[in-house]
Amino acid sequence: MRLMFTLLCATVALQVQVTPVQKVIQMMQDMVAKGKQEKHEEQVAFATFKQWCADTSDQKARAMADGADQIEQLSADIQKAQADQLKLGDAVKQLQANIATWNGDKSAAQAERAAEKADFDTLHTDYSESISALGRAIDVLSKRSGDTAQSLLQLTQIDRIPASTKRVITAFLASEQPLDVTAPQANAYEFQSGGIVEMLEKLEQKFKKELHGYEKDEAAAKHEHEMLIQELDSQLNAAEKEASDKTKLRGQRKADEAQADGDLAATKADLAEDTKYRKDLITECDTKAKDFEARQSLRKEELEAVSKAIEILASGAVSGNADKHLPSLAQTSLAILRGTETSPQKKMQLKASALLQKAAVESKSRLLSLVSNKVASDPFAKVKKMIKDMIVKLMEEATEEAEHKGWCDTELSMNGQTREDKSDQVSTLTARSEELSATISKLSNEITELSDGIAAIDKAMSDATALREEEKAKNAVTVQEAQEAQEAVAQALQVLKEFYDKAAGATALVQGPADDAPGTFSKPYQGMGGSAGGVVGMIEVIQSDFARLEAETSTAESEAAAQYQKLSDESSQDKAVKQMDLDNKDKDRTNAESDLTATKQDLEATQAELDAALAYYEKLKPSCVDAGLSYEDRVKQRAEEIESLQMAAKVLDGNDIA
């Protein structure tokens, strides 16, 4: 304590007494150093701002050039899509005309073929019936059956039997006389019957030959018709497919035109926004450059004026008198410490915790280790209740474990089958999903470009915001320092007035330069230059200049904030347009991925079922899967845990254990 007191006294003794005038002079000297530093910092800040202006202007110029190229390309794409639609429409009309013609040819060919087939069926029926009748007649004549007259009479009723044959048959029937059953047949009858049989056999062979010829002609006509229909069907299928493909392609080209129209409108809007943004940026940067040059010139004049004022205030007539009459001040400070200790109750908890921790290590019980940690940190009542609850719980677990094993065997079997089935389904759906995913690729580049554009706007606004915050902070410091300076100069002015009242014959002070500084950001800036009328006039001018510095800095801050807000609004509008375009393209990409959604949903659902089965298996494992301990070992370990918990409870109850 004595050493600290000695050091404190030495520190107070070393403090230098400071008068108000010396304080003002020191402040003005600090202002000179600060002004030079701010002048340099302003140059660095403006160089950064100027580089930002150039980079942003170049970026917008590139964006405008890219926008113009995109507009030209999109316009060409729209014209190409329109031309393709006209060409495809004409092609579809021609294909539809061909389809109509070929359908007519097909219908005509089918009608003609149906007529030919009907004629053939009629002819075939006639020949078949004639051949059948001839066969029956020949058979009857050959056997000399009693049905001879009836069979020959049927032949005469068939239209296809030649008239000469009918006359022979009729004559034969007319000449035929009924004979006595016992009388022998005449040779003349036998000869005549044999001639008719021969005639009928030749006629039968002739009919069969003619029918075979007609059948060959029918087969050839049928084959020719089938080939014609096949050729027409092939032409129709090809034409219909081509017409369908061209119709779809025409629809796609129409969609492409609509997409290009939307992109063209969005690109034109982006180009207009970029053009306006760059124009406003160039105007703002030019204004800032002119203001910077004027501000640098005024800072130089201001530093010269302040240096001259310091020279006047530091003269012996002012500073010496202040050394005699003005007091000074000093400040000191101290610090406080505190500590903690351990209670007997805490020692008892630590002893019970050590007992449980030892038992946990010996039995490798995580439960006892957990209870040991709880005993070391929790209050007695809570710990004892927890130990009793755990003992009861362990006993209940021992009862439940025997019944649990049979249930585990059943659940593990069913769960294993479920996991196997769901794994196969997930593999199949994953392969299908990978195949579908390969078809999605169109809009990603455009979305990336828009995202980059939005990021560029955000970066530009971030840079502008950083510059604005830095400028705002500097203006705030300038206002604060101007207020402090006004108070100090008022003190100096009071001292000088008292001094000049007492020392009227003092040497006159050197006059300051004329106040002809150009304007700042909004209006002409006067700086801190003094008048040519002496020390009091100089200090009065300095005082008024500080007041003007505060007001004009506040005005400049308001105007800079308004310009920044304008730039922020335009950037927000530009970003909103790009964001809307980005959202539209993102929706288009989402629509393009719709074919993949169903498969992914099935995969997700199946995967969820598999995950549920796996999760259920994980839940089964702690109690159903053997973790290295037999049922008897677990019973023994549980008994040891119960015994250890009971011993810990005795310790906490105050019954010490040897």
Q: Answer whether residue 129 shows pLDDT above 70.
A: yes
Quick one: residue 629, left, alpha or beta (phi over 0 = left, psi -120 to 50 = alpha)? beta
State how far the alpha carbon of 23 is from the alpha carbons of 17, 28, 327, 487, 491, in Å.
10, 8, 12, 11, 10
- Paired strand residues for 519: 524
**What is the separation, in whole angstroms, between the first and last Cα of the chain?**
51
Answer yes or no: is pLDDT of 321 > 70: no
Give pLDDT tens digits for 241-297: 999 998 999 999 999 989 999 998 999 999 899 899 988 989 888 888 888 888 888
Task: Round to whole Å and give the CA distance between 375 and 190.
Answer: 139
How far apart are alpha carbons 478 and 569 in whole angstroms? Answer: 28
Tokens of 230: 């096949």
Name the most confidently modeled range: 182-191, 314-323, 386-395, 592-601: 592-601
The rounded distance, in Å, linking the Cα atoms of 509 and 534 is 5
What's the mean per-residue pLDDT of the chain? 75
Amino acid 21: pLDDT: 59
Q: What percent of the chain has pLDDT over 70?
A: 69
- Check pLDDT > 60 for residue 1: no
Question: Tokens 């009928």 label which residue?
Answer: 200
Residues in a beta bridge with 524: 519
443 vs 99 pLDDT, higher one: 99
What's the pLDDT band for 102 if we cut at 50, 70, 90? very high
Tens digits of residue pLDDT in 156-192: 767 677 776 777 777 777 765 443 334 444 444 444 5
* Most confident option among 188-202, 592-606, 636-650: 592-606
Q: How confident is the model at residue 595 (pLDDT cuts 50, 70, 90)?
A: confident
Res 654: pLDDT: 63
Asked if pLDDT for residue 567 goes beyond 60, the answer is yes
- Report residue 116 as tokens: 């030919």
Helix (H, G, I), strand (E, B) or coil at 169: helix
Half-sphere exposure of 151 (CA within 13 A, CB side): 21
**Per-residue pLDDT at 657:** 53
At 178 the pLDDT is 44
Question: pLDDT tens for residues 399-416?
Answer: 776 666 667 777 777 888
How large is the average pLDDT for residues 37-60? Answer: 85
- Please report which helix (H) or strand (E) contains residue 498, including its range: helix 444-502
389-405 mean pLDDT: 71
pLDDT at position 194:
64
Alpha-carbon gap, residue 228 to 327, rounded angstroms: 127
Q: Could you tell me the two tokens for 66?
A: 């890219």
Q: What is the mean pLDDT of residues 226-239?
A: 91
More confident call, 216 vs 545: 216
322: confidence class by pLDDT, cuts 50, 70, 90: very low
Distance CA 106, CA 230 (A): 10
For residues 387 and 646, what is the distance between their CA atoms, to the nearest angstrom?
8
Q: Collapsing DSSP states into helix, strand and coil, what is residue 228? A: helix
Cβ density class 34-64: b for 16+ within 10 Å, e for less: bbeebeeebeebbeebeebbeebeebbeebb
**What is the DSSP secondary-structure string of 318-355?**
HHHHHHHH------------------HHHHHHHHHHHH
3-state DSSP helix/strand/coil % of the chain, to nearest 5: 85, 0, 15
Of 505, 522, 517, the closest CA to residue 541 belongs to 517
**Contact residues for 60 (Cβ-Cβ < 8 A; gap 6+):** 274, 277, 278, 281
pLDDT of residue 524 exceeding 50, the answer is no
Could you tell me how many helices (H) and strands (E) the chain has, helices first?
Answer: 13, 0
Give the mean model confidence (pLDDT) for residues 544-549: 82
Q: Any idea of the CA torsion for 36, 39, 40, 42, to the nearest 10 degrees?
A: 160
Q: Give 612-658 pLDDT, tens digit per residue.
A: 888 888 887 777 766 566 667 777 777 777 777 777 777 766 665 54
Which residues, 6 or more positions from 571, have their beta carbon under 8 angstroms from its beta carbon?
277, 457, 460, 461
Pick the closest to residue 530 from 16, 174, 28 (CA basis). Answer: 28
C-beta separation of 641 from 394 below 8 A: yes
Q: Which is higher by pLDDT, 658 or 209?
A: 209
pLDDT of residue 86: 92
Residue 602 has pLDDT above 90, yes or no: no
Q: What letter represents residue 379's amino acid?
A: P
pLDDT digits (tens, 9 = 90+) for 476-499: 898 888 788 778 777 777 766 665
| String of DSSP letters for 517-574 | --B-SSSB--TT---SS-HHHHHHHHHHHHHHHHHHHHHHHHHHHHHHHHHHHHHHHH
Among the ranges given (103-112, 237-246, 525-534, 552-561), the one the predictor scored with the smallest mean pLDDT: 525-534
What is the distance between the alpha carbons of residues 64 and 60, in angstroms, rounded to a whole number?
6
Tally the C-alpha atoms within 13 A of residue 279's C-alpha that lie toward its C-beta.
6
